[in-house]
Amino acid sequence: MAPQQSVLALDIGGTKLAVAVMTDDGRTHGFLSEPTEKHRGPDAVIAHLFDMGHRSIAAAGLGAPASVGISCGGPLDAPAGILTHPLHLPGWIDIPIVAMAAEEFGVPAVVENDATAAVLGEHRYGAARGAEIALYLTLSTGVGGGSIIDGRLHRGAAGNGGEFGHLTVRPGGRDCLCGRKGCLEAYASGTSIAARAKDLLTGDDRPSTLRDRDAVRAEDVAAAAAAGDPLATAVWRETTDVLGQAVTDLVNIFEPQVVVLGGGVTRSGVLLLDPVRTLVQTTAMPPAAARATVTLAGLGDAVCVVGAGALALDLLEKTRV
């Protein structure tokens, strides 16, 4: 039997590098996840990433991949194949990652924003299968987004569309890493949920189980809110309020069939999903609200790798035509 065609998928995160070989059924083989160690700089990190690629190919046992798909945080210039200056990788300036990967593995390569890759993965293999219009929000260290429109990936003029994290949810509000104030990311990222809890602990005398901790993380806030802690509940309610407002705006803009929420913050499950769903159903324009389902990601932590694999498969299609 001829070996099944496979592609190599590389995901460059600020904390972790994830790599796998993927077949066109969306299954991953030889999956590896290792720390990024970004302090070592782009040359060392990329050498490590490519080494993981070779190890994954060997472990998968499916022969040489036909193409390479790469996902990375923006900003990047996808058509040019260049990481211009990813916010989560300080010091990475104008890295020609597509040319580097193509040379390393001897096959065509492609790069996209990680949330763009993620929506493609969820659309083809996850919670957004069959949708003509699907949106994806990643609630993680930062907040990113991607969209499928009329069945096809929308990437913006140069792959930087879908900056749902920088919707203005509280004009003049909290500082955002992007330099503006009041962005969704400044309220609904894991980092900002933790930071808001810390601020509230400082300025509020109410007892809270969060006071017992050295470092408050977003998951601690979620757990304490679930247990009824009033201070954590206040932080959590603000989180779901702004997220529900932003998803409502996106539903009004796109009239999607499905909005998928993914990333570490969504491990809180229904504690996040239920109030967001309720806000969207009660405040979006009725025709759009009636059609839109808000749901959790189906691919979990592998979503960006699966998305990068889907990009690599699409690249083969394009080359064939």
Q: Which residues bind its own copies (CB under 8 A)?
A: 74-75, 77, 84, 132-133, 145, 149-150, 152, 154-164, 166-171, 178, 180, 245, 248-250, 252-257, 283, 285-288, 291
Smallest distance, its own copies to C-beta of residue 243, A: 12
Q: Report DSSP letters for 87-141, one per residue.
A: TTSTT--SB-HHHHHHHHHSS-EEEEEHHHHHHHHHHHHSTTTT-SSEEEEEESS
Smallest distance, its own copies to C-beta of residue 162, A: 7
Smallest distance, its own copies to C-beta of residue 117, A: 16
Residue nearer to its own copies on the CB measure, 52 or 82: 82
What residues contact residue 78 under an 8 Å CB cut-off, 6+ apart?
110, 111, 112, 113, 116, 155, 158, 159, 160
Residue nearer to its own copies on the CB measure, 170 or 267: 170
Q: Which run of H or E residues covers position 16?
A: strand 16-23
Pair 34, 71: CB distance under 8 Å: no
Residue nearer to its own copies on the CB measure, 163 or 229: 163
Query: What is the C-alpha separation between 318 and 7, in angstroms, rounded?
Result: 14
Smallest distance, its own copies to C-beta of residue 260, A: 15
Residue nearer to its own copies on the CB measure, 150 or 214: 150
Smallest distance, its own copies to C-beta of residue 46, A: 22
First to last CA, the chain: 26
Residue nearer to its own copies on the CB measure, 218 or 242: 242
The DSSP output letter for 181 is B
Residue nearer to its own copies on the CB measure, 211 or 318: 318
Smallest distance, its own copies to C-beta of residue 144, A: 11
What residues contact residue 304 under an 8 Å CB cut-off, 6+ apart?
11, 13, 18, 71, 114, 117, 118, 121
Nearest to 93 by CA among 82, 102, 101, 85: 85
Smallest distance, its own copies to C-beta of residue 26, A: 24
Query: Using omega within 30 degrees of 0 as the cis cutoff, is the peptide bond preceding 75 cis?
Result: yes
Residue nearer to its own copies on the CB measure, 121 or 256: 256
